[in-house]
Amino acid sequence: MGQAVALYTQGKQLMFVGCRLLGNQDTVYTGYAGGFLYFKNCYIEGTTDFIFGSSTALFEDCEIHSKRNSYITAASTPKEIAVGYVFNRCRLTAAADVDKVYLGRPWRPYGMTVFMNCELGRHIIPAGWHNWSKVENEKTARYAEYNNTGEGAKSTARVKWSKQLTKKEAEQLLKLISANL
């Protein structure tokens, strides 16, 4: 099974509520830099980089399901865009044989992804993030976490170039992204 885009977005402001998005590689493509997407109570499953693109997107109360060992996100957030992907109160699950999944890797140098208040399953590897085999991405990628729980949430072994947000930073981020709703 190869690439299978289930959702390709191009709008300025789009909302998806209660959707079930099934695919393999590249399930959800957020293709419009400067666009804002809101996903609420959705189920999204896939394999490699199955949530990818350049839009700002808030995922709330969603289940993000990995079908094999790989990467969940591949953000290509432009340098001038403050917020890329934010996952809030989501549950990260996986198929029974999956045990090595990264939260994300930067498709472009300034990729931005944050997981906050999420339940991370045992399939999330301790490093959490990958640099796409480009050391220079470690200087520009914007990866962070806040208040996650579950077996995959242990932050002590995360890559040094990712960040653990403070409560104040997490609140400011949610306020910033919620202004687009």
- Which residues are known catalytic residues? 26, 49
- Pair of tokens at residue 74: 């591949």
Give the C-alpha distances (Å, rounded to integers) separating 14 from 9, 57, 71, 112, 143: 8, 9, 24, 19, 24
Give the sheet arrangement for strand 20-22, strand by strand: 20-22, 43-46, 63-66, 91-94, 119-120
Positive or negative torsion for Cα 46, 47, 53, 58: positive
The helix or strand, by DSSP H or E, that contains position 67, with its residue range, turns out to be none
Helix, strand, coil share (%) of the chain residues, nearest 5: 10, 40, 50
Q: Cα–Cα distance between 164 and 143 in angstroms, integer? A: 9
